[in-house]
Amino acid sequence: MSLPVPPTAVDYWDLFSAFFIIGLVAGGIVVSAMVYYAYVNRRKIGRREFKISRAHFRSRARETVILAMISLTILFSLSVLSDRIAANIQTPPETSTSLVINVNAFQWAFQFIYPNNVTVTTDCRIPVNTTVIFNVTSLDVMHDFGLPQFKIKTDAIPGRHNIIWINVPSLEGQNELTYQIKCYELCGIGHTFMMGNLIVMNQTAFDQWLNQTAVSQGLG
Amino acid sequence: MVTSIFFLALAGTIAELVRGQLAFPNGSLLTPGLYEQAVSFHGLIMILWFLSPFGTAFANYFVPTQIGAKDMAFPRLNAMSYWLYVFSGFMLVSTIFLPGGGPQTGWTLYAPLTTTEYMPQPGMTLSVLALGVLAVSITMSSVNFLTTILGTRIKKMRWWKMPAFSWSILFTNFLMLFAFPPLAAGAILLTMDRVFGTVFFSSMLGGALLWTQYFWFFGHPEVYVVVLPALGAIAEIFVTFSKRPLFQKRVFLIEMAAVTVLSVGVWIHHMFMTGIALGVRETFSFTTMAISVPFEGLVIGLVLTLRKSALRITTPMLFAMGALFFVILGGITGVFQASIALDYAYRGTYWVVGHFHYVMVGTTIFGLVAALYYWFPKITGRMYNEKIGKLTFLFSFIGFNVLYFPYFLLQDMPRRIASYAANPEWFPLNLTATVGALIFGPFILISFLNIGHSAFTGAPCEPNPWDAVSTEWTGDYSIPEPDDPEGGIEESENDNEPEKEAQPPPPSIVPSQNQEETASYEEERSTRTYLPVVVAGGVIFFLYGFIMFAPLAIIGLLIMAGAVVKWFHDDYHDKYAEIKQTLKEKWPFETVGKEKLGLWIFLMSEIVLFGCLISGYIYVRLGSSTWPLAAETHNVVIGSLNTVLLLTSSLAMILAVQAAKNNDQLGIKAGILGAFTLGAMFLMIKLSIEWPREIINGFVITGGLAPSTYYMLMGAHAIHVGIGLGGLTYLMAKGFAGKFTPQSHTALELIGLYWAFVDIVWIFLFPLFYLI
Amino acid sequence: MKKVSLYISIWGLMVAATLVEIYIFTTSLSVQYKVVSILTIAIVQAITNAAFFQNLRYEKKVLSLLPILSIVVLCTLLVTAILSVGR
């Protein structure tokens, strides 16, 4: 029983691969150069015959500038690409069937408030194939509401509301999918234990659960 | 240096405890409370009390030698900044033993966790105060270094000829000057919250975001403050051991300058998840990407220095190359975090921890250990044990990677959690990391022990065992830089001495002696005095007493007052006055005296400090829809009267300076007296008429954000006025004794400059609080 | 004593500027207009003070680079802080 990878995580790994390949190549070249030069030019202590040779320097300013321009272009493109994905993470798509859940972080758990005022703590249930918008804030100190398997999170700051959204497209043949929720900002002694579960259910099961919970909380 | 190594040992031991706790998913070595304290102390001590001071230690020793100065520009200030650093460190560490313990908030001290509501223990307040004292110490130190490098280089030490290490210290200190005032501002506000009941960090308007702005505006330049000295040292080491000049030194220095400048404009990348406008975050994502370009240039320059070199693989060279390897790896992982989208995944996880340990520990510690081995013969006149040195390098390098590389693979693990029983899949990597810690820590320790032991028992060696060409080794300041196309050193087969024409004899540099003794001091003008220690001690007593035990505070104040008076007394009798020297390389500050230069540099930090405080006020006010109008809370008449008083006081001051230039003794006395009286009236009206009226009207300091900002800014300004009045008292003593002449009235001029600055701050405070 | 009368006239200018600020405060212009004009006057006052009372006008120009540098650094913080206000 393996958890399907959510779409946001797929985006993340794609972007990560881009960064990783470029970083590996760039870093690899520089490190290899250093090791190569060190190996080729090694001497033993004691021999002092070499002096710093006369500086027949031609200015390599042109090459430096070219290299800088190339690096800047690559990095800026990566940045622009990242910005698009980031904008996507915090801007939910315009649909009429999105579910807005208010997330209140407090010491030391997350509280979830549904549109019909049902309030649950620690574990959050959502329906599959629905745009779920988390409206995150904090009731006391700074926390961070994070879904590690989705590779997204947002700070929970008292007095501010931050938005992230997810959409789990399919249950992949399973009854329920359980993802992890964790707090990613030190918020006191209980930070170590501040976590929960994000349980994805099919629409009928979710509606059932929501209604039952509403009744048991006296909300009719 | 010894002190910073002591702090290293302390924080390193804490780190081993942390890793011990994390070795197993449900470790029981440390309770969560102790664990959070452990990570907080580890971070604070390592970054602020070890890494930076360690670099400064080398700077203190070698910058004057490299640039040909006798000593730092302000030796007693140097001593005071050291003692403030030591005592503030003790103050921080002592909080472990106080009831409630010390900070449990991580080194980032995020609000509102740090407010009394969530962290009531006095240890927290004392830690914040310790930070404030350290900020003062570092500001003093940076004024000292900047004045030294800008104004006391020996003749012919032109800018491009200055060694790379001194350049890196120059940049580092500019950054310190700009970075520490925001930390001090944050510390002041947090202290006021905790002690006086203001609401900067507990209110919704200020709160978490206000703190993160202050802290990271400080925090990002701070990490470059930590890394730049190591990079400078690495450059020196690469040059010496490869027997090649630094590849394109001018480009190298320009790139370092670019890093310095850009580092002030990237701090929002620590706040990507706070929900501030995407446009702002995107801009800072760009600047963060941009800063990696000059860094890449620096690294490539260092690697190309090895090309066609005659490399000697000595211990310092190994450590330096290791450090360079770490900066490559660490830097690249940093670029990953410059992306906002990727940061959604990395925020608060071990990826971040891995990145910064690679650059802070890998580059900085390996770089500075390299520097220690490199300069060891110069400091002690002996040679260390090469075999042990290389062995410690090998195992430290391996241990380091075993310890920190797994962090990058623990991308989902939150930071600062004491156990991870819910995620047993993290166990193997954590165990590996702990094993790495058990290798890395001890071997670095052995490295230091090697150094320590060799300091006493190593074989004595010649003055320049590495055959280096930079000025601190050869003592020859007229030697042209090797990369100067006109003045290269000829390649020669035989002896060690480069070709010289008639060079002036270098000052005698005998390695085994203390640097102080070899400089040509006037014997009777040695600047040794016990006063800096006493002042620093007094400050600490006062702060402790203020928080914990009132009588101690009074003792502290008395000690401080007494020492300061004695200090002024020494100046009154010109006990340590420096003989004016004319042969200095000071472009572009040729006509500026050393003290004036120092004061202007200090005023820069004051500008940033007050600017930060005022920015905080503007920030919370702009976010508020219910701020009371000025007319309702403050009396414009009193405010205007005070404004005119202060303006006239400034006038009196400048007239006094002018009178000194014209040798008009009566004018001097009248001016100083006028300035003092008017300033004192300002303070009296404010404290005995204005504030009591406002407090009776209900405008008390605990009453919300508006009074918080008002009393904070007015209070800070008033304290500066008070200090200015103290200085004016000194001037009165000197002026009435007729000690000011047209040639010698530096104190008058300098305190006048400070006084005018205090007036300028008021010029902004008046409209901001009374008219808007 | 040309310098002395110069200083006294600068002082007079500064006091006059303060009075202008107070006058603007008492008028009934819009808030933004008041804020901008009062703060502009304050900035001019500060520069005048620095130029004359701190003798920056008479020092080598490069010395005035130092405070200008700090102000530039500071503006970075201020602008970003202002831009990040609000939800």
* Chain segment B312-363, per-residue pLDDT in tens: 888 999 999 999 999 999 999 999 999 999 999 999 999 999 999 999 999 9
| Residue carrying the six token digits 């249950």 | A171
Instruction: Determine the pLDDT at residue B381.
Output: 86
Q: Is the pLDDT of residue B480 over 70?
A: no
What pLDDT does residue B99 have? Answer: 86
Are B153 and B268 members of one domain?
A: yes
Phi, psi of B448 (to 5 degrees): -65, -35
- pLDDT over 90 at B136, yes or no: yes
Q: Work out how many domains chain B is built from and give that number.
A: 2
Inside any domain, residue B400: yes
- Confirm whether B37 is domain-assigned: yes
Neighbours of chain A (3+ CB pairs under 8 A): B
The mean pLDDT of B155-165, rounded to a whole number, is 81
Burial of A174 from C-beta contacts in 10 A (0-12 / 13-18 / 19+)? middle
B753 touches chain A (CB under 8 A): no
pLDDT of B483 over the 60 cut: no
- Tally of residues, chain C: 87
Helix (H) or strand (E) segment spanning residue A112: strand A109-113
Asked if B518 and B388 sit in the same domain, the reply is: yes
Residue B396 within a domain: yes
**Would you say how long chain A is, in residues?**
220
Q: Is B184 helix (H, G, I), strand (E, B) or coil?
A: helix
E runs forming strands in B147-281: 153-154
CATH at residue B14: 1.20.210.10
Q: Report the residue of chain B nearest C83, measured CA to CA.
A: B280
Pairing of β A143-147 and β A152-156: antiparallel
Nearest to A51 among B282, B311, B489 (CB): B489
pTM: 0.90
Per-residue pLDDT of chain C (87 residues; tens, 9 = 90+): 577 888 898 899 999 999 998 888 888 778 888 888 988 999 999 888 888 887 777 777 777 788 888 888 888 888 888 887 754
Residues in C 47-66 with any Cβ partner in B closer than 8 A = 49-50, 52-55, 59-60, 62-63, 66
pLDDT score of B508 more than 50 = no
**Residue B573 belongs to some domain of the structure:** no
Angstrom distance (rounded) from CA B484 to CA B130: 46
Would an 8 Å CB–CB cutoff place B338 in contact with chain A? yes
Predicted pLDDT at B519? 36
Longest distance between any two alpha carbons in chain A, whole Å: 93
B449 belongs to a structural domain: yes
CB contact under 8 A, A152 and B307: no
Is the Cβ pair C4, B655 closer than 8 Å? Answer: yes
Count of beta carbons in the 10 Å neighbourhood of residue A189? 17
Amino acid, single-letter form, for residue C40? T
pLDDT of B586 reads 62
Q: Please check whether residue C81 touches B, CB under 8 A.
A: yes
Nearest CA in chain B to A61: B251
Supply the CATH number for residue A182's domain.
Answer: 2.60.40.420
Residues of chain C by 3-state class (helix, strand, coil), percent to 5: 80, 0, 20
Cβ burial of B545 (10 Å; 0-12, 13-18, 19+) is middle
Interface touch B772/C35, C-beta < 8 Å:
yes
Q: What is the structure's pLDDT at B612?
A: 93
* Better-predicted residue by pLDDT, B216 or B29: B216
Helix, strand, or coil here: A144? strand
Please state the domain count of chain A: 1
Residue B494 scores a pLDDT above 50: no
Exposure string over B336-371, b if 16+ CB within 10 A, otherwise e: bbbbbbbbbbbbbbbbbbbbbbbbbbbbbbbbbbbb
| Cα distance between residue A188 and residue B39, in whole Å | 12
Is there a single domain that holds both residue B522 and residue B636?
A: no
Lowest-confidence pick of B125-129, B267-271, B329-333, C51-55: C51-55
Compute the distance between CA of residue B256 and CA of residue B260 in angstroms, rounded to an integer: 6
Q: Looking at the domain assignment, is residue B16 inside a domain? A: yes
Q: Determine the 3-state secondary structure of A126 from DSSP.
A: strand
In a domain, A151, yes or no: yes
Which of B110, B251, B349 is nearest residue A64 as measured by Cβ atoms?
Answer: B251
- Confidence at B172, pLDDT banded by 50, 70, 90: very high
Evaluate if residue A45 carries a pLDDT over 80: no
Q: What is the Cα Rg of chain C in Å?
A: 17
Q: Which class for B528: exposed (0-12), middle (13-18), buried (19 or more C-beta within 10 A)? A: exposed
Q: Please compute, for residue A134, the number of CA atoms within 13 A of its CA located in the half-sphere on the CB side.
A: 29
Higher pLDDT residue, B528 or A102? A102
Residue A127 CB contacts under 8 Å (≥ 6 apart), including other chains: A99, A200, A201, A202, A203, A206, A207
Domain boundary among B483, B506, B526: B526
Distance CA C74, CA B123 (A): 32
- pLDDT digit string, tens, across residues B577-610: 555 555 455 666 666 778 888 898 999 999 999 9
**Residue B200: domain span:** 2-526
pLDDT at B479: 54
* pLDDT reading at B384 higher than 50: yes
Q: Is the pLDDT of residue B180 over 60?
A: yes
| Amino acid code (one letter) for B87 | F
For residue A111, the enclosing domain spans 99-216
Q: Closest-CA residue in chain B for C51?
A: B756
- When pLDDT is averaged across residues A75-104 and rounded to a whole number, the result is 90
Q: Looking at the complex, does the CB of residue A15 fall below 8 Å from at least one CB of chain B? A: yes
Average pLDDT, chain B: 85
Q: C11 vs B647: CB contact, 8 Å cut-off?
A: yes
pLDDT at B491: 34
Q: Specify the range with the lowest mean pLDDT, choosing from B71-80, B200-209, B306-315, B470-479.
A: B470-479
Of B484, B508, B526, the position where a domain reaches its end is B526
Strands B382-383 and B459-460: antiparallel
More confident residue, B17 or A154: A154
Mean pLDDT on B70-79: 84
- Please say whether the beta carbons of B275 and C85 come within 8 A: no
Has residue A165 got a pLDDT over 60? yes
| A-B Cβ pairs (cutoff 8 Å, strict) | 261
Within-domain flag for B547: no
Give the pLDDT band (50/70/90) at residue A58. Answer: low
Chains that touch C (3 or more CB pairs under 8 A): B
Q: CATH number of the domain that B674 lies in?
A: 1.20.120.80
Domain termination residue (choose one: B498, B526, B554): B526
- The pair of three-digit structure tokens given for residue B441, joined into one six-digit string: 């820590």
The pLDDT of residue B503 is: 31
| Within a domain: B623 | no
